[in-house]
A = this chain, B = another copy of it.
Amino acid sequence: MNQRYPSLLLDNAVNEFAKLPGIGRKTALRLILHLLRQDENVTDSFAQALTTLRHEIKYCKICHNICDDEVCTICANPSRDKTTVCVVENIKDVMAIENTMQYKGLYHVLGGIISPLDGIGPSDLQIESLIERIPLENVKEVILALSTTMEGDTTNIYIFKKISKFELKVSIIARGISIGDEIEYADEVTLGRSIMNRTLFNDSYSI
């Protein structure tokens, strides 16, 4: 009972769709039947957009963010502070930080974090290029903005050791209680950190 579909073409399409993470065969079939009900050009432009992206996508040669040219729009923007570099795991993190509109420096996308269990070591990440970039572009501050997990911490320490030879400020994003969270339900480690790293309160302070 391998081929459960009345058409080999359908079977093939379902198999391909179901390779995507979080898409099972039932969802795949539902999405494909939706495409079959639409005009042919809907499927064509969908397939075209994906293949064009996959073949023509570039990575910024400075920060390794995804982009259409040699250098991404953030690195190419003259109004950004080029002496501050925020180290992130992937391009989704760049987008998340960009959406806060709180950061005006540049980024450095590692392309992952050190995770021996997944076989990812420092050499698989863009750490060497970060080290080369610091003296070259006269970087004054490196902000570590990796996940607050064991792997994130390992990567933070590794990078810190590698870049501490330069004369620069190395900071890490604040860990503390999320906005909107109740103290009562916060975990002990986070609450402990939030007390340890308390900031001065003043009149202009607001959520």
Contacts and interface: CB of A to CB of B under 8 A. Distances in A.
Interface stretch (A44-52, A115-123, A144-152, A175-183): A44-52
Interface residues of A, number: 57
Given A43-B51, A43-B54, A23 B19 contact: no
Interface stretch (A2-10, A161-169, A197-205): A2-10
Given A8-B68, A54-B40, A33 B91 contact: yes
A131 interface: no
Contacts of A46: 16-17, 19-20, 47, 50
Interface of A: 4-10, 12-13, 15-17, 19-23, 27, 29-36, 40, 42-57, 65-68, 72-74, 90-92, 94-95, 98-99
